[in-house]
Amino acid sequence: MKYTRSSALFANAEQVIPGGVNSPVRAFKAVGGTPIFIKEAKGAYLIDEDDNTFIDYINSWGPMILGHAYQPVVDAIIEKAKLGTSFGAPTEIETEIAALAVSMVPNIDKIRFVNSGTEACMSAVRLARGYTGKEKIIKFAGCYHGHSDSFLIQAGSGAVTFGSPNSPGVTNGTAQDTLLAKYNDIDHVKSIIEANPNDIACIILEPVAGNMGCVPPQANFLQKLRALCDEHNILLVFDEVMTGFRLARGGAQELFNVKADIVCFGKVIGGGLPVGAFAASEEIMNYLAPLGPVYQAGTLSGNPLAMAAGLAMLKALESDAEIFNRLAEKTEYLHKGITKVLNDHKIVHTINRVGSMISVHFSGTPVVDFETSAKGNNENFKTFFHGMLNQGVYIAPSAFETWFITDALTYEDLDKTINAVHKVASTLQK
Ligand code: PMP
């Protein structure tokens, strides 16, 4: 494959955009080489500026559950745009999508829309602090909740890919209020709570982590967190930016049958447009301005184009009773296929999967938290990434990311992907 035009475009971008990208992990820095510039996408495929076609497993980092340029979403955006693109005043469609989201997700009465997952998580934590009157939060090493200051403490995803899980620019004061726990280690969480009695407003986590590769919660981990939160008057915040409307209609709360106090959404809820949201019981949500004292706002929040795209997306997910099973079956097929090929080639690996989230770790030990995820063979990951790309399969350019399966993928696409792994496997270290 040739990447001539992408290389030229990247060189131009580097002149005027830091690192040539508007979000770091796009830069391919962790894997080397030049990022491919995308011209268009349809269904399961991306086409780059050199006219190469790729099967896409990034899917805009999650939201494209139904594939790219899904017709009802595109049509909804076009129709809305004809009526004006932003008013900074209420519109009927905001209530429509809010009501649909509330009906799909358990344990929430009210929802507020923002513009990104970062904003959703940042606002959720402010609300938790305002509601409980407490200041500290617990987050887990390797979980990513966006780039707001409180979360750039041992953050996963791009932050750790670039070696800055604790970013300069975050003050010591802010860092002190974020307490760091080990994912899947309930005793560690307990010890932190005991060391900070009556200080902790909330525990925030990805109920299935997707930012240290895919790391599922171990048996009853979420239930035990729920019990600890109840015991100590702490709010449990599920960051469902990746898992929401992907693992089940009601997200991880439904899949694991655990109640969160506040739930954060992003990406999916905007059908690929810039949207996030956070939601909770009426009692908690009524703490927000203009009803309550916790301030939170946004000029473009509830933007009509974003709401139209999101509504079309949620309606499609809501009305398709089989979609989440179909996604899980496709992912399981891929899991089995890749496992067989890597085993045949005697490549040390671990594959983690929940629903339609999956990641391949070049590590022989179970990957259950950030520490075990970081033990993977990064040289093998780099070779794997470029090998797959050259075979026309686009996976995230970092070992700390998850692959997202879309309903647009056919079994033929999955077979092509497994065949690509077969070709690449012979180039990997055993
Ligand atoms: N939370 C999680 C779990 C995420 O994966 C992300 C982004 N990948 C965010 C929050 C931040 O979302 P955004 O990039 O839209 O700000």
Let me know: does 390 contact 423? Beta carbons within 8 Å.
no
Which ligand 1 atom is nearest residue 211's CA? Answer: 5
User: What is the distance, to the nearest Å, from the Cα of residue 117 to the centroid of all Cα atoms in its chain?
Assistant: 8
- Find the range with the poorest average confidence among 23-32, 42-51, 126-135, 411-420: 23-32
Q: 167 falls in which pLDDT band (50, 70, 90)?
A: confident
Q: 160 falls in which pLDDT band (50, 70, 90)?
A: low
Q: Is 206 in the pocket of ligand 1 (CB under 6 A)?
A: yes
Q: What is the pLDDT of residues 129-138, one digit of tens each?
A: 999 999 999 9
List, in order, residues 6 or more apart from 99 with CB less than 8 Å away.
none
Let me know: does 357 contact 61? Beta carbons within 8 Å.
no
Let me know: does 78 contact 415? Beta carbons within 8 Å.
no
Q: Give the pLDDT score at 397.
A: 95
DSSP, collapsed to helix, strand or coil, labels residue 52 as coil
Q: Give the pLDDT score at 430.
A: 87
Q: What is the pLDDT of residues 86-104, one digit of tens each?
A: 999 999 999 999 999 999 9
Q: Is 117 in the pocket of ligand 1 (CB under 6 A)?
A: yes
DSSP, collapsed to helix, strand or coil, labels residue 279 as strand
Question: Which residue's alpha carbon is nearest to atom 10 within ligand 1?
Answer: 145
pLDDT cut 70: percent of the chain above it: 97
Q: Is 266 in the pocket of ligand 1 (CB under 6 A)?
A: yes
Q: Is 210 in the pocket of ligand 1 (CB under 6 A)?
A: yes
Q: Is 61 in the pocket of ligand 1 (CB under 6 A)?
A: yes
Q: 163 falls in which pLDDT band (50, 70, 90)?
A: low
CA angle, corner 207, sides to 203 and 209, nearest 5?
Answer: 105
Strand partners, 360: 351
- Closest to 137 measured CA to CA, from 263, 234, 277: 234
Which tokens hold the place of 158? 């791009």
Strand partners, 404: 357
Q: 154 falls in which pLDDT band (50, 70, 90)?
A: confident
- State the CB neighbour count (10 A cutoff) for residue 85: 12
Q: How far is the CA of 355 from the centre of ligand 1 (A)?
A: 19
Q: Give the pLDDT score at 173.
A: 86
344 labelled catalytic: no
Q: Give the pLDDT score at 156.
A: 62
pLDDT higher at 154 or 351: 351
> Is it the case that residue 155 has pLDDT exceeding 80?
no
Q: Which of 136, 267, 330, 382 is catalytic?
A: 267
Q: What are φ and ψ of residue 56, in 5° steps?
A: -100, 120
Q: 206 falls in which pLDDT band (50, 70, 90)?
A: very high
DSSP letter, residue 27? G
> Is it the case that residue 394 has pLDDT exceeding 70?
yes
Which ligand 1 atom is nearest residue 274's CA? Answer: 15
- Asked whether the bond before 290 is cis by omega within 30 degrees of 0, the reply is yes
DSSP, collapsed to helix, strand or coil, labels residue 178 as strand
> Is it the case that residue 162 has pLDDT exceeding 70?
no
Q: Is 241 in the pocket of ligand 1 (CB under 6 A)?
A: yes
Global pTM reads 0.97
> Is it the case that residue 209 has pLDDT exceeding 90?
yes
Q: 34 falls in which pLDDT band (50, 70, 90)?
A: very high
pLDDT (mean) for 155-165: 59
Q: How far is the CA of 150 from the centre of ligand 1 (A)?
A: 14
Q: Find the radius of gyration of the CA atoms of the chain.
A: 21
Q: Is 146 in the pocket of ligand 1 (CB under 6 A)?
A: yes
DSSP, collapsed to helix, strand or coil, labels residue 364 as coil
Which ligand 1 atom is nearest residue 206's CA? Answer: 3
Ligand 1, pocket-test mutation among 23, 147, 211, most atoms within 8 A of CB = 211
Q: What is the pLDDT of residues 104-121, one digit of tens each?
A: 999 999 999 999 999 999
- Closest to 383 measured CA to CA, from 371, 372, 399: 399
Strand partners, 345: none
Q: Which of 45, 131, 144, 287 is catalytic?
A: 144
Which ligand 1 atom is nearest residue 118's CA? Answer: 16
Question: Which residue's alpha carbon is nearest to atom 12 within ligand 1?
Answer: 117
Per the prediction, the chain carries an average pLDDT of: 96
Q: Is 44 in the pocket of ligand 1 (CB under 6 A)?
A: no
pLDDT cut 90: percent of the chain above it: 93
267 labelled catalytic: yes
177 labelled catalytic: no
List of domains in the chain = 4-69+321-425 (3.90.1150.10), 71-319 (3.40.640.10)
- Closest to 113 measured CA to CA, from 125, 127, 129, 101: 101
Which ligand 1 atom is nearest residue 119's CA? Answer: 16
Q: Give the pLDDT score at 152.
A: 86
Q: Is 251 in the pocket of ligand 1 (CB under 6 A)?
A: no
C-alpha–C-alpha distance, residues 202 and 229, integer Å? 8
- State the CB neighbour count (10 A cutoff) for residue 292: 15
- Closest to 6 measured CA to CA, from 381, 394, 414, 274: 394
Q: Give the pLDDT score at 399.
A: 93
Q: What is the pLDDT of residues 261-309, one digit of tens each?
A: 999 999 899 999 999 999 999 999 999 999 999 999 999 999 999 999 9
C-alpha–C-alpha distance, residues 120 and 114, integer Å? 6
Q: Which residue has tokens 């129709």?
A: 79
